[in-house]
Chain A
Amino acid sequence: MVGGEHNTVLRIAGSVQKHVRKYNALYLMLLPGVVIVFIFHYIPMYGIIIAFQDYQPLYGFSGSPLVGLRWFRAMMTMPDSGQIFYNTVYIAVFKIIFGQIVAIIFALLLNEIGIKPYKRTIQTLTYLPHFLSWVMIGGIFIDLLSTKGIVNHFLGFFGVESIFFLGNNTWFRPALIVTDIWKGFGWGAILYLAALSGIDPNLYEAAVIDGASRPRRLWHITLPGIIPTIVLLATLSLRNVLNAGFEQVFILYNPAVYRTGDIIDTFVYRVGLLDAQYSLATAVGLLKSVIGLVLIVISYRIAYRFANYRIF
């Protein structure tokens, strides 16, 4: 019995060894990345302990007293925690949904363009804003969306009165979502465009021969072709349900729109950095990560069950 188990272990060990030796170049290339992730993401996890302490920088990790779940309780009882959570989810969900829809539609449209250089130029121009930081674009949007800015000027042609987008609780979140989509749809479309180019052109030819019109081809060939990509990206974006985009909100928000615009991260920023309450901020961050993890696991299961799609 013991001998048998021993043999099996050896055999598995042997085949693992063989596998690694066969692909050793690939594993070697993987190694630096793994090391970096380990050093910068796993080792610092020790710092999570701050969430359970009354952390004082003066006393450090080992000198600060443990206080258990105090900060988690404090989080729940804060008067505006419900509102902040709601804002975060509201903004994030709409950003994800509409962001993906716009990206997909744009990818589909762009895919129909035959003239290669034209297509490439448009693609480059649209994904450039993704690389600009909100610190820069934020200032531009503050001007564009101001009561005397271009947008309101344009609305004036239709007889619509000036809307103070960034200072108004009704319009602030829509403004956030729309500007974020503007910034990201070009980049988001890239993966879809890649998937679209991966569809077998023979299918299209066969469809044309069979007399299928453009809409029909779209519905029967194109869309099914990119469904796996859509599912993959939707799944991956679920973890962002609590990341409503700190940089953007921080640049654009102001006291007049705290009620609808304050998200978990801006709250943590004020409390954690400005008030130096590291423990509370860490606790909130930890909660966010745990929820994100749960969501990923759930969405992974869903993707597997309904689209027979394995990510790993």
Chain B
Amino acid sequence: MNKKLIIILMIVLLGSLSVYATGGKEPLEPAAVTDEGPVDYYMKFDPVIKLTQPMTADDGKTYPEGDDVNSNVFTRWCEKEVGIKWEAKYTYSTSDESKQKLSLAMASNDLPDLLFIQSPDIAKLAKAGLIIPIKELQDKYQSPIGKYMLEENDRAMKGHFYDATSYNGQAYAVPWSADTVVPNNSWYRKDILDELGLDVPETIADLDEAFQAYKAINPEGVGLILDKSLVDGMNMIMDAYGAYPKRWVMDSDGKLAYGSIQPGAKEALAKLRDWYAKGYLDREFVVKDVNKAEEVWKAGNALVLEGAWWKSWGTNITLYQNVPTMELAGGSYLLGPDGNQGPMIELFNKQGFVISSQCEHPEAIIILFNHYLDSAFRGHKDLQDKFDFIYPYEQLRTPINLDEVKKLEAEGKVAFKKYDYEKPGPRNGSDADYFNTSISWSRQFGMLFNQRASQLTDQFLRIADAWEAGKIDELSQQDQISYTTMFRGIDTLRVTHFGIVRNGVAWRDQVHISGYNGPPTPTMISGDAYLKKIELETFANIILGESPLSAFDKFVEEWKRNGGDDITAEVNEWYSSMQ
């Protein structure tokens, strides 16, 4: 019995050790880019080539008879028009499963040809040589429309567009680009300001005055909404003092520095501390999460709210339901006492599709991308004159019943209408919600959000212009529907939003973009938890009055000593490698 046991144990042991045998493979040579004269940007591959990608077993949509998520109008289109037959490298049904299978694929050095991943993983795969840089491919195979759109995005992001998807200065993926230059806004209760006889505050001093006046008529009211995560509400004040917490600013030496430790932060904290003592902030903001903190606003007892523009889709609608007489006004970026003004945003487009170094036809993916962009932008009038589209401009043929749409919206349902384009393509307009294509948009391969730099903003601008000129009827049907259903048709929200969008556009050139956009650095990984904790703790306790203002200086020292200096060095290293 003993001997048998030993043999069994040995087998199990050896078996489990063999799992390690596959690690540490050499990166392979990337497949060569073919070189065959002038390129047809929409070429069809003949004979049909096979490309692999991860495929979901079921995307939860109902397909017509005989079709499923992996065999439908789109896959047939792809094979017929572009000559690509998509095969599943592996299938998954939950996101956990997809992560597991991806790591298996990595370990066995067998990636799908096309993959959609996040920024830190992009850096890892690039380092291991498992994916290829895309610039060469793009130069050669990207259509003029595609190049134009990407350049547009790069300009909007002030040259930082590819930051998060690059490694060693080379871009490995095209990042998502859905309206990325949209900084946070602030909303003021215009009806209250009117009652107080005040204009929308433009400086910190104005805010002071407004809060004081507001407290006089509503002692229980709250001036500024702040919650325990210390983001919305605090950023607008901090930014006015030139501190951009949790983001990276350029200091006077031309190096990147961490926003939260700038001297401006101390001044901003002093101001917030003062306001807390005077009751301008919710006494209990520190125990409330964002939703709970907003309840005061929704009940109508607060003066200003900061947040992403889409808060009008939820929070402000509730406010309207509770206080139908309310009126809102959008605020601009506050002018600080030092003359500081202007938002800073963080890049959030940190994911994109990458191409495996084992792919035999990497150019096919760029060609597919060309089809995407061409068909997606075919409705954009301003591009029609500039480029030759192979997907012709078409107005929608099936008449859309606006009343029916409104009815469905009121019930909280989305209105789907079948529409057949004369020449169907992978993307048909930007509003897949209203104009359901016969091609499921779950087959977008991560190309879903490759849009123009300010697609949504431009739409809002068109609607705003039309509204002000009284020419809503002259808008395209797509825009009309957006207008009708915008913020459930609540006028004050719509009008406020137009103001916010115009303000955003006016500031577009002066938006700062947070300096650091790479993957977490080694010290960030090991030390960030503690650093973030003491930052939040110190700021919260200073505002509450539990700690003196000098605690800020101690915090800065502590931050630098416990990894902050290392992180700053690493960030600047990354920055210089990107130049």
> Which residues 521-565 in B have Cβ within 8 Å of A in the complex?
525-526, 528-530, 532-534, 536-537, 539-541, 544, 546, 558, 562
Q: Answer whether residue A214 sits at the interface, using C-beta atoms and an 8 A cutoff.
A: no
Taking chain B's interface residues, is the majority helix, strand, or loop, or is none over half, making it mixed?
helix
Q: How many residues belonging to A are interface residues under a CB distance threshold of 8 Å? A: 35
12 new A-B contacts at CB < 8 Å, known A60-B104, A259-B537: A58-B106, A59-B107, A63-B22, A63-B23, A80-B533, A80-B534, A166-B287, A255-B533, A255-B537, A256-B540, A270-B533, A277-B529
Known contacts A62-B19, A74-B526, A80-B530; is-contact A164 B283 (Cβ 8 Å): yes
Please state if B536 and A255 are interface contacts (CB–CB under 8 Å).
yes
Bound Cα distance from A78 to B534, whole angstroms: 12
Least CB distance from B554 to A in Å reads 13
Taking chain A's interface residues, is the majority helix, strand, or loop, or is none over half, making it mixed?
helix
- Please name all residues of chain A whose beta carbon is closer than 8 Å to the beta carbon of B20 when the two chains form the complex: 62
Cβ contacts A to B, 26 pairs, < 8 Å: A56-B124, A57-B99, A59-B107, A60-B106, A62-B19, A62-B23, A62-B107, A63-B22, A80-B530, A80-B534, A146-B284, A147-B284, A167-B284, A254-B286, A255-B286, A255-B533, A256-B544, A262-B533, A267-B529, A270-B529, A270-B533, A271-B529, A275-B525, A277-B525, A277-B526, A277-B529
- Please name all residues of chain B whose beta carbon is closer than 8 Å to the beta carbon of A61 when the two chains form the complex: 19
Please state if B124 and A58 are interface contacts (CB–CB under 8 Å).
yes
Least CB distance from A56 to B in Å reads 7
Bound Cα distance from A168 to B539, whole angstroms: 15
Least CB distance from A15 to B in Å reads 17
Least CB distance from B556 to A in Å reads 15
- Please name all residues of chain B whose beta carbon is closer than 8 Å to the beta carbon of A74 when the two chains form the complex: 526
Please state if B124 and A255 are interface contacts (CB–CB under 8 Å).
no
Please state if A59 and B103 are interface contacts (CB–CB under 8 Å).
yes
- Please name all residues of chain A whose beta carbon is closer than 8 Å to the beta carbon of B23 when the two chains form the complex: 59, 62-63
Residue ID in chain A nearest B1 by CB atoms: A9
Q: Answer whether residue B158 sits at the interface, using C-beta atoms and an 8 A cutoff.
A: no
- Please name all residues of chain B whose beta carbon is closer than 8 Å to the beta carbon of A166 when the two chains form the complex: 287
B120-133: contact bitstring with A at CB < 8 Å (1 yes, 0 no)? 01001100000000
Least CB distance from B172 to A in Å reads 14
Instruction: Please tell me which one of the listed residues A255, A259, A275 contacts residue B230 in the complex, with CB atoms under 8 A apart.
Output: A255
Least CB distance from B101 to A in Å reads 10
Q: Answer whether residue A258 sits at the interface, using C-beta atoms and an 8 A cutoff.
A: yes
B216-241: contact bitstring with A at CB < 8 Å (1 yes, 0 no)? 00000000000010100000000000
Q: Answer whether residue B292 sits at the interface, using C-beta atoms and an 8 A cutoff.
A: yes
Q: Answer whether residue B347 sits at the interface, using C-beta atoms and an 8 A cutoff.
A: no
Q: Answer whether residue A33 sits at the interface, using C-beta atoms and an 8 A cutoff.
A: no
Q: Answer whether residue B102 sits at the interface, using C-beta atoms and an 8 A cutoff.
A: yes
Please state if B540 and A254 are interface contacts (CB–CB under 8 Å).
yes
Q: Answer whether residue A142 sits at the interface, using C-beta atoms and an 8 A cutoff.
A: yes
Bound Cα distance from A118 to B288, whole angstroms: 39
Residue ID in chain B nearest A60 by CB atoms: B103
Q: How many residues belonging to B are interface residues under a CB distance threshold of 8 Å? A: 41
Please state if B540 and A60 are interface contacts (CB–CB under 8 Å).
no
Bound Cα distance from A57 to B546, whole angstroms: 41
Bound Cα distance from A16 to B537, whole angstroms: 61
Bound Cα distance from A258 to B533, whole angstroms: 8
> Which residues 488-538 in B have Cβ within 8 Å of A in the complex?
520, 525-526, 528-530, 532-534, 536-537
Bound Cα distance from A274 to B534, whole angstroms: 16
Least CB distance from B114 to A in Å reads 17
Least CB distance from A162 to B in Å reads 9
Residue ID in chain A nearest B526 by CB atoms: A74
Least CB distance from A104 to B in Å reads 32
- Please name all residues of chain A whose beta carbon is closer than 8 Å to the beta carbon of B539 when the two chains form the complex: 255
Residue ID in chain B nearest A272 by CB atoms: B529
- Please name all residues of chain B whose beta carbon is closer than 8 Å to the beta carbon of A254 when the two chains form the complex: 228, 286-287, 540
Least CB distance from B560 to A in Å reads 13
Please state if A57 and B103 are interface contacts (CB–CB under 8 Å).
yes
Bound Cα distance from A124 to B391, whole angstroms: 70
- Please name all residues of chain A whose beta carbon is closer than 8 Å to the beta carbon of B288 when the two chains form the complex: 142
Known contacts A62-B19, A147-B284, A275-B525; is-contact A79 B562 (Cβ 8 Å): yes
Please state if B536 and A258 are interface contacts (CB–CB under 8 Å).
yes
A166-194: contact bitstring with B at CB < 8 Å (1 yes, 0 no)? 11110000000000000000000000000
Residue ID in chain B nearest A274 by CB atoms: B529
- Please name all residues of chain A whose beta carbon is closer than 8 Å to the beta carbon of B544 when the two chains form the complex: 167, 256
Ranked 9 nearest A-B pairs via Cβ: A60-B103, A255-B540, A255-B536, A271-B529, A258-B537, A254-B228, A256-B286, A63-B107, A62-B19
- Please name all residues of chain A whose beta carbon is closer than 8 Å to the beta carbon of B100 when the two chains form the complex: 60
- Please name all residues of chain A whose beta carbon is closer than 8 Å to the beta carbon of B104 when the two chains form the complex: 60
